[in-house]
Structure 1
């Protein structure tokens, strides 16, 4: 009995480590693409060429592709192949890197490194909490969805009102919300493992899906922290 429990815990640990490895790979790809695009000026040359040719609307293409990949990966997980899920995750990481290539111009490299370090500490702490806390966070999924919609609506309103205090509130609320979601996603990974632990193919896809969730959590925490640092600069 004790041996079976040990094997089960070890298998769950391997599954979660695999997700964290894929998440780290996604972040490395995003950072590498962003740096190359910024350092070579490729992104700005593309923007200039499109604006000169009257195709400026294509500048929004990466954002829509990101959204499409996220929706497709979430909705078709059980039907797509493992290779497809990996390709979509890597593609999303690359596209995010392209869009992030403008961040050094806006905030500066020092702010970016500081935000990354601070976000990493927050993320790791909440990942540990999500893995060890006894409270079942997965039952709060409806509350999380409602909070996300509220945050999005408030953010849109903030764009038009341009009130510094409101924008500051949105940043803090966004950080707190995605920290909670990080802990929630850790527990969701464990729950999904329990459901599909007899299906190796599904576990492989769930590892990618879990990595994608964690990747999005970290990216959102990073962006909100970066916005706060930018306001205090």
Structure 2
């Protein structure tokens, strides 16, 4: 699970009326996010179904389950480390650096998600993906069209996300409870549903705050695609805990 909420999270409140430039900006964000999901799926498929690659990232545990190799563990946690570190390292971001950040995160998450193809059936993964896409689309549309100011949600969502990350780690390494994981997953779905609506509206605010600055727009496209990509990926993984059918 990863979280990043971008460079422009405090853009001012503005009139969010329809604008053709805004439409093109948002389409650019969605297109880049969609391409990122395609790359993620391809990388995950390679890791899951090419035995030589699978062996680099995953191994059978003593109980017969599937666990990470040291390399796999590093890849799994690298996106979170990079995202947290990016806020300190990228003091003066550029279009190139934000694009590199986006594709680096997409690549690492794609590699780490190969385990899903090993653990769950392809049909349940596909079903969960389409359910996630429908939910994401509805939530993003709500964030885009609502007149309600969602900016007040940010602090709550940030604190909830931090708590969620801690809960996931504690359950993964200490509690190891299936029931606890289901509860965490349910909460995770709700949290990233909130982030999806918030991030979509915040992208509109960012567009108007930039006032047509082309370099700023390019960076905002990268940051926006990253935020929405992470919202989608996290919702998908948490929903898979409920909808996924494990392989025999």
* TM-score between both structures, scaled by the size of structure 1: 0.85
- CA RMSD, 1 decimal: 2.6
State whether structure 2 residue 159 is matched by structure 1 residue 146.
yes
Cα distance per residue 1:40-83 (max 9 Å; x no partner): 2233232479xxxxxx5333221343124323545566622212
Mapped partners of 1:48, 1:103: distance in 2: 11
Give yes or no for contact 2:167–2:184 (8 Å, CA) kept in 1.
yes
**Structure 1 runs not aligned, ≥5 long:** 50-55
Q: For 1:32, which of 42, 48, 67 is the aligned residue? A: 42
Q: Deviations over 1:138-189 (max 9, x none)?
A: 1221111121122223334434334444322221111111011100000111
Q: Does 1:169 align with 2:183?
A: yes
Pick the structure with greater CA Rg: 1
With the length of structure 2 as denominator, give the TM-score of the two structures.
0.80
Q: CA deviation at 1:14?
A: 0.9
Greater helix fraction, Structure 1 or Structure 2:
1
Matched, 1:110 2:123: yes
Q: How many residues align?
A: 223
Change (3 A) 1:78 1:202: farther
Relative to structure 2, which stretch is displaced further, 10-19 or 40-49?
Answer: 40-49
Match of 1:17 in 2: 27
How far, CA to CA, are the matches of 2:58 and 2:238 in structure 1?
Answer: 28
Whose relative contact order is higher, 1 or 2, with alpha carbons under 8 Å and at least 6 apart?
A: 2
